[in-house]
Chain A
Amino acid sequence: MTTTNTISRTGGVDDVPVVRLVACGSVDDGKSTLIGRLLAETGSVPEDQLDYARRTRRGGSTIPVGEVDYSLLTDGLEAEREQGITIDVAYRHLYLPNGRRVIIADAPGHEQYTRNMAVAASNADVAVLLVDADRGIRDQTHRHLTVCALMGVRSIIIAINKMDLVRYDHAIFEELTGVVKAAAARLGLDEVSAIPVSAFEGENITKSATKMSWYHGPSILDALANWEPPPADHESPFRMPVQFVSRAEGNFRGYVGTVAAGTVHPGDEIVVADSGQTAIIDRIVTFEGDRDEARTGDAITITLDREVDVTRGDLLAASGATASGETAWPQPADRFSADLVWVGEESLMHGRSYLLTIGPRTIPATVTVVRHRRDVVTGQQLAARVLETNDIGRVEIATDTAIPMDAYSSIRETGGFLLVDRVSADTVAAGMVTHALRRSLNVVPHNYEVDRDARARLKHQRPRVVWMTGLPGSGKSTIADAAERRLHALGLHTYVLDGDNVRTGLNKDLGFTPEDRAENVRRVAEASKLMLDAGLVVLVALVSPFRNDRRAAREIFDADDFIEVYVDTPVEICAERDPKGLYAKAASGNLPNMTGVGQGYEVPEDPELILHGGGNLDEQVDTLVALIVGE
């Protein structure tokens, strides 16, 4: 017997009243039938829906009218049926006889829907992974196992289905189970059990099998009814992200949130992980009255014995140290290594600024490096510079401010985050922190005595960054050249960072894809910042076609230091001038990423200054110089 497992332990219903289950497997492995039968045989679906499943028949169905077609109980949206696609994860309730509730996240089995599988797995405690006994292990089996491991699903129940098609053969069951268990072990999944079932015949679903005398383990229903979480769960240190600070009559000041991990009591010392401030819990307030304990999942309001500086998004955590001598709370850091599941329609661009949302906190963040992309079938790490929809990969992330985050593998709630597109507001990725990068903890900026102000005073000037954006051939370099000569004559210390010139050195490794353009802009912005710090007036002449990239550049400067100048020249004039012959090349199809031809140019929405590259050069330069020296 190799089906010994951890799920046959007894009890645990009170500890885990609601079990979240993800059902996964390839398209034809019989998932709908298995879920449908579980729902029907536990009385979890109303009678009229059963009636529907008795009367309705889809094309190709061989089930006689009058019998329940279980797969119909999980039928989806009309839009899905009409368009023959599966859009989304569905959530269904399973009532267990022992009072436990199972919420089944039913993820579509098509391989292009890795993102849906990831969503379903992100909340799941247990996965039921279906394998067709007749057709055997498939790519999708490995893919789903990988996603389960990545998203932190702790227990896997392998359901070897369609045993009726292989004459309930014990050897086939053992063989398939062996392959999946080996794959699971490689992924670090250790709570793995296997059950031979026939969803179609109802063997081992809610009732023990009658046709597999060689099997003595639980049915699917029993396995779910007796499931217990791994013991480590109860020992997590306390974490609570603050949703908001509540103020009520009588100077009441409470910190509102849901306990993400651990247990707390009045009298416990906690720390605001963001600032390191400590305080003692005074009360745990709820509508029913004060509590003497709160545990993972409880929605509470905490009052503290002293005033601390806390706002929405801050993390309250256990103070003290762990057994290994580290602080029991995560130290703020601004560089992280993380795994991403890319769900956005546009590809990931490193260097582009996104919003990072973790619990109730949202801050700007940049993906600085793509380390590798994961082949979800073989587990191989592939070299990659971008991540596309449904890709999974390891990246490094830089946040604008240092924040405390846990490793996802230890606490999901405080180690899992979203990346959000700044303009469309779409969620583009789910991220799982692997660790804060050491160098961010070790790199402590040294404050030099001679600072920017001192350098600027010596030069008798106000350092500025003037960022000129516009189409190729719009006249950016020409204006910059003329303006710099004028400023130089006035005795100002200047430097021009010209797009083409920078690409011959600092950025010679970059091309013209959107993601390389983002990195190009990031590096030029950082170089400008150093020059600003050196006290210079910096003129940047860079196509920088994308709003998001320019916004990211602007954000690293103080508001007064950055002047965005849009050199507005009609594309016909740019093409006619064509100083570098680019428009001619693009027209002949040799320059697919040419801005204004193959790629779009996003006009600045709110630049400090608009110059007309088609107008009189001296007038444009007058206006620009006046802005730089005049204020």
Chain B
Amino acid sequence: MSVASVTSNDVLDALEAEAIHVFREVAGAFQRPVLLYSIGKDSSVLLHLARKAFYPAPIPMPVMHIDTTWKFKEMIAFRDRVAVELGLDLRIAQNLEAIAEGVTPYTHGAQEYTRLMKTVALREGLDRYQFDCAIGGARRDEERSRAKERIFSLREAGHRWEPRKQRPEFWRTANTRLSEGQTMRAFPISNWTEFDVWRYIRRENIEIVDLYFAKPRPVVERDGTLIMVDDDRLPLREGETPMMKSVRFRTLGCYTLTGAVESEAADLDSLLTEMLESNVSERAGRLIDGEGGGSMEAKKAEGYF
């Protein structure tokens, strides 16, 4: 199968129009919407779609990043540059309490760390600014429980996701009304696949963080996963010595929890070819998803995006 046949331009046009429709519906229906920005490729696509949706007016909502303080350095630099270039109203949400207590992926375990630094930080950020709708880049092909996710996903008080309370979605018509305590999450690229995202990035010439492309980087192999030594906070285990390998990242999160893949793909075309040949789920490189069956679903119930 060729890259072109996986996602034709016509498919991209249809997916793009659907996503723009969702962006506009959020802007029209909610009082205080926010765009969640994780600096990853999906977020880069979301930002691009937002510009298109509101053109010639600027993006009419703030952009929020959940900063765990353990993101790759390159990601933060990229975020700050993009914010300036596009004139974004960037808000940064952090769990300051947990940071002060010295919570790290090592001291608290990946799962508890993720809950505190991502889920709790997100909930606090949404509450602080009283956002009533948060736009995110989740896709239905990412993970099994996401296949049933709504485009407009309702959250109860405390940002809880309750599968049974999700609203049936008929046509393009969204029920955006909220009762006391409820908020909404909206996912404009629900119907995109990973290949769609990559092909769209190539077609639209969207800038993404360089970490997605292969380059010699210092890594250690740990439990079968290649972890990049992004700074000196990574406690090396006995016998571990960072070595230079040509690696890239398929998804970007906290550097200590994101596995690299060995690759020579230094540009988009070779990257797409490599992905088509391997054909493995993208979240396979995310260490936090694997703990306990259906853990994405459990995290969502707590308010994870």
Contacts and interface: CB of A to CB of B under 8 A. Distances in A.
A and B from one complex: yes
Contact of A17 (B10, B141, B171): B10
A246 B173 CA distance: 20
**Nearest 5 pairs between A and B by C-beta?**
A78-B294, A17-B10, A99-B8, A299-B20, A287-B52
13 contacts: A77-B144, A77-B148, A78-B145, A100-B11, A118-B170, A244-B28, A246-B54, A248-B56, A287-B52, A355-B177, A417-B173, A420-B175, A425-B175
Interface in A48-87: 48-49, 75-80, 87
Given A76-B148, A78-B297, A248-B57, 8 more contacts: A99-B8, A118-B168, A246-B56, A246-B57, A417-B173, A425-B177, A426-B165, A427-B175
A236 interface: no
Contact of B24 (A256, A424, A427): A256
Most chain B beta-carbon neighbours within 10 Å: one of A76, A80, A243, A424: A243
A412 B190 CA distance: 22
A297 interface: yes
B85 to A, nearest CB: 16
Contact of B279 (A47, A252, A420): A47
B29 interface: yes
Contacts of B100: none
A49 B56 CA distance: 43
A440 interface: no
Nearest to B10: A17
B43 interface: no
B179 A424 contact: yes
A97 B5 contact: yes
A308 to B, nearest CB: 18
Interface in A93-113: 93, 95, 97-101, 103
A100 B7 CA distance: 8
A423 B177 CA distance: 10
Given A101-B11, A299-B21, A43 B170 contact: no
Nearest to B275: A46
Given A48-B280, A99-B5, A75 B148 contact: no
A410 interface: no
A331 interface: no
B147 A258 contact: no
A357 interface: yes
B24 A358 contact: no
Instruction: Say which size band chain A's interface belongs to.
Output: 35 or more
Given A93-B141, A424-B179, A252 B193 contact: no
Contact of B55 (A76, A88, A119, A286): A286
A297 B17 contact: yes
B81 interface: no
B280 A99 contact: no
B191 interface: yes
A119 B168 contact: yes
B228 interface: no
Nearest to A97: B5
Given A49-B281, A99-B5, A257-B24, A115 B168 contact: yes
A423 B179 contact: yes
Interface in A319-343: 343
A47 B277 CA distance: 10
A519 interface: no
A79 B173 contact: no
A252 B190 CA distance: 31
B163 interface: yes
B167 interface: yes
A523 interface: no
A472 B28 CA distance: 45
Interface string A112-124: 0001101100110
B169 interface: yes
Contacts of B163: 77, 79-80, 87-88
Contact of A88 (B20, B53, B166): B166
A417 B51 CA distance: 29
B274 to A, nearest CB: 14
B233 interface: no
A47 B284 CA distance: 11
B1 interface: yes
Contacts of B1: 43, 95, 97
A285 interface: yes
Contact of B27 (A17, A244, A301, A417): A244
A420 B152 CA distance: 15
Interface in B286-302: 293-294, 297-298
A164 B80 CA distance: 61
A90 interface: yes
Contacts of A14: 10
B19 to A, nearest CB: 8
A558 B177 CA distance: 25
B5 A98 contact: yes
A188 interface: no
Interface string A404-437: 0000000011001110100111110010000000
Given A75-B144, A248-B56, A258-B17, A299 B24 contact: yes
